[in-house]
């Protein structure tokens, strides 16, 4: 059914649910899986060097933690998965990676860490659905 | 209600919070967004400063200057002393003289106002340069360290010019120099001892309070002789840089205090006095002074880079990065405005040029002249034979 699944993971509850569902799908279909984490660029034009240094350290620590979490999930469920960390615009990069690895399914959470601005600017999910080169599964977080 | 200190503080903090949110969203530093929002608050919401806001803003500028001095890597500065001094000095002197003379002869500013233009446009923003280099991994290479060391020399020239040009030269100045020399001599030892004995175990933060005490005291002496508090702040940062290199926690604490409560007041205030009509009216002067700054930096830094054998592309990249400016430029302009040396229109022109000089050269450098991995490993005077230290880019 699916051969290559790409899943976007940024540490938000919604993306965590997407990762879990993607792992479940990969296990069912035997698909290869790639977890893509998109980090934002460092702030441009800072007023102190330490602003950049500390931002860099915080980003590195955060994504290293997410990488460990994704790998642990893969180990626990017996699904081999790759992890790629990229920097830049999340919707564009998710679509680019999906195209590059010729994924047949892109899995993302309905709302990521940019939720605060999503109402105004549109969610990452909206943009990925519009531009993805393959089928997209948008996973919604249910609050029961 | 407008005189209630809590409501006034709430208004300013609302702007600061909004700036943080926008900064996170658009990936541009909070300082620049605070200036932009300050411009809007000043022009449309008629925000006013008060005595306590002025103090917080001044202390914010002082702490930024202190951090700029304290972030120097003394080992790197010693290693690259000669080329860094050569590049850094011309990078200060030519734009300083160029902008000063252009403002005086071409744009008809008064002599002292033209001097402020020279000081404000002579700077290089170490922080902007560093951020660009971290993005490309250049900061970890020898040439990256050389460029940063050169930036520190340039900024030292700017701070010295600002502290000396407008000061009173009399007996009180001698006293200021003497007090400064004594404090700077003993400060590294005292700071190290306080950190070693108390810093790691006390939540009452004695080491932070000690540094603030020194900055307040020297700031008081500096303003007493009509100099600028940023001069001692930068020098204090310089002499404790070695201590800070080992104690990152102290650096983090001071930066947190500065960015949470002090620098927002400084940057919003810096934007507050920018007049939108004056930007339109002074568009030609803005373009002219920006061209003077970029040209003067080019004339100064390019040959210096050639003399030390920089490859062509790397030299263009270095020259453009050395043309950036931000914090010290706005500090110099604000000093001129608050001391009635420049008018609000001239202040507007200078701050606009400073902000453009942070953005324009950076964009050109990143778009057209980002060095290749081999070029980035170049060490002045000898091509690097050492192992590559260039980090992979984030997109790898």
Read off the pLDDT band of B378 (50, 70, 90). Answer: low
Contact B254, B205 (CB under 8 A): no
Mind telling me how many Å the CA of A108 is from chain B's nearest CA? 20
CA angle B304/B305/B311 to nearest 5° reads 155
pLDDT in the model for residue B394: 38
**Res A132 pLDDT > 60:** yes
Q: Is A51 on the interface with B (CB under 8 A)?
A: yes
* Beta-carbon contacts of residue A45 (< 8 Å; ≥ 6 apart): B28, B29, B31, B32, B125, B128, B131, B326, B358, B359, B362
Task: Check CB contact under 8 Å for B27 and A41.
Answer: yes
Task: Check CB contact under 8 Å for A43 and B131.
Answer: yes
Supply φ then ψ for residue A35, to 5 degrees: -95, 125
Mind telling me how many Å the CA of A84 is from chain B's nearest CA? 9
Task: Check CB contact under 8 Å for B31 and A116.
Answer: no
pLDDT in the model for residue B272: 96
* Beta-carbon contacts of residue A72 (< 8 Å; ≥ 6 apart): none
Mind telling me how many Å the CA of A132 is from chain B's nearest CA? 20
Mind telling me how many Å the CA of A52 is from chain B's nearest CA? 6
Task: Check CB contact under 8 Å for B394 and A47.
Answer: no
Chain A, residues 117-136, CB within 8 A of chain B, namely 117
**Res B371 pLDDT > 60:** yes
Q: Which residue of B has its CA nearest to A63?
A: B394
Considering only CB atoms, B255 lies closest to which of A39, A48, A114, namely: A48
Read off the pLDDT band of B374 (50, 70, 90). Answer: low
Mind telling me how many Å the CA of B130 is from chain A's nearest CA? 6
pLDDT in the model for residue A93: 87
- Asked casually if ipTM beats, i.e. exceeds, 0.90, the reply is no
pLDDT above 90: percentage of residues in chain B = 53
Q: Is A46 on the interface with B (CB under 8 A)?
A: yes
In whole angstroms, what is the distance from residue B210 CA to residue B250 CA?
Answer: 12
Supply φ then ψ for residue A84, to 5 degrees: -130, 130
pLDDT in the model for residue B244: 77
Task: Check CB contact under 8 Å for A45 and B362.
Answer: yes
Read off the pLDDT band of B2 (50, 70, 90). Answer: low
pTM of the model: 0.83
Highest mean pLDDT of the ranges A109-118, B123-132, B369-378, B387-396: B123-132
Task: Check CB contact under 8 Å for B29 and A87.
Answer: no
Task: Check CB contact under 8 Å for B358 and A87.
Answer: no
pLDDT tens digit sequence for B82-98? 888 988 999 999 999 99
Q: Which residues pair with B134 in a beta bridge?
A: none
When pLDDT is averaged across residues A106-129 and rounded to a whole number, the result is 72
In whole angstroms, what is the distance from residue B4 CA to residue B26 CA?
Answer: 33
Interchain CB contacts (distance < 8 Å): A and B: 90
In whole angstroms, what is the distance from residue B297 CA to residue B129 CA?
Answer: 14
Task: Name the average pLDDT for chain B.
Answer: 87
**Which residues on A lie below 8 Å from B263 (Cβ)?**
47
Task: Check CB contact under 8 Å for B127 and A42.
Answer: no
Side-by-side strand order, sheet with A135-139: A81-87, A32-39, A4-8, A105-109, A135-139
* Beta-carbon contacts of residue A67 (< 8 Å; ≥ 6 apart): A37, A83, A85
pLDDT tens digit sequence for B188-226? 998 888 887 776 666 778 888 999 999 999 999 998 888
When pLDDT is averaged across residues A117-138 and rounded to a whole number, the result is 80
């Amino acid at each position: 059914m699916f051969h290559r699944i790409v899943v976007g993971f940024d540490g938000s509850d919604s993306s965590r649910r997407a990762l879990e569902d993607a792992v479940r799908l990969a296990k069912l279909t035997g698909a290869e899986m790639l977890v893509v984490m998109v980090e934002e660029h460092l702030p441009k034009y800072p007023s102190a060097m330490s602003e950049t240094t500390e931002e860099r350290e915080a980003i590195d620590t955060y994504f290293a933690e997410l990488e460990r979490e994704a790998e642990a999930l893969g180990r626990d469920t017996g699904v081999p998965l790759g992890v790629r960390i990229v920097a830049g615009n999340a919707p564009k990069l998710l679509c680019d990676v999906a195209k590059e690895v010729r994924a047949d399914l892109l899995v993302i959470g309905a709302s990521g860490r940019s939720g605060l601005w999503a109402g105004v600017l549109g969610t990452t999910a909206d943009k990925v659905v519009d531009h993805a080169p393959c089928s997209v599964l948008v996973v919604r977080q249910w609050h029961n | 209600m407008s005189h209630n200190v809590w409501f006034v503080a709430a208004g300013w903090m609302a702007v600061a919070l909004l700036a943080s949110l926008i900064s996170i969203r658009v990936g541009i530093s909070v300082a620049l967004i605070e200036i932009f929002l300050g411009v809007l608050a000043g022009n449309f919401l008629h925000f006013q400063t008060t005595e306590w806001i002025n103090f917080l803003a001044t202390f914010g500028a002082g702490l930024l200057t202190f951090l700029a001095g304290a972030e120097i890597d003394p080992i790197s500065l010693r290693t690259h002393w000669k080329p860094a001094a050569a590049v850094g000095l011309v990078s200060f002197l030519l734009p300083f003289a160029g902008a000063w003379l252009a403002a005086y002869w071409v744009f008809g500013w008064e002599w002292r106002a033209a001097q402020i233009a020279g000081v404000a446009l002579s700077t290089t923003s170490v922080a902007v340069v560093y951020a660009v280099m971290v993005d490309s991994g250049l900061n970890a290479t020898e040439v990256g360290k050389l460029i940063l060391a050169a930036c520190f020399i340039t900024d030292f020239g700017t701070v010295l010019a600002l502290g000396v040009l407008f000061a009173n030269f009399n007996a009180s100045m001698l006293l200021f120099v003497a007090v400064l020399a004594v404090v700077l001599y003993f400060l590294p030892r005292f700071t190290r001892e306080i950190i070693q004995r108390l810093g790691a175990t006390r939540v009452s933060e004695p080491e932070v309070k000690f540094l603030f005490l020194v900055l307040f005291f020297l700031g008081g002496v500096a303003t007493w002789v009509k100099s600028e508090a940023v001069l001692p702040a930068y020098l204090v940062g310089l002499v404790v840089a070695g201590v800070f290199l080992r104690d990152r926690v102290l650096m983090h604490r001071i930066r947190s205090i500065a960015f949470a409560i002090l620098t927002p007041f400084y940057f919003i205030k810096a934007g507050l006095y920018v007049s939108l009509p004056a930007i339109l009216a002074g568009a030609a002067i803005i373009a002219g002074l920006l061209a003077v700054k970029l040209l003067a930096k080019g004339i100064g830094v390019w040959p210096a880079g050639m003399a030390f054998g920089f490859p062509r592309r790397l030299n263009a990249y270095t020259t453009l990065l050395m043309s950036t400016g931000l914090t010290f430029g706005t500090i110099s302009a604000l000093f001129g405005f608050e001391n009635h040396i420049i008018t609000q229109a001239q202040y507007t022109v200078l701050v606009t040029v400073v902000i453009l000089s942070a953005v324009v050269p950076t964009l050109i450098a990143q778009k057209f002249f980002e060095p290749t991995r081999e070029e980035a490993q170049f060490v002045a005077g000898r091509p690097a034979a050492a192992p590559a230290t260039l980090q992979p880019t984030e997109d790898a």
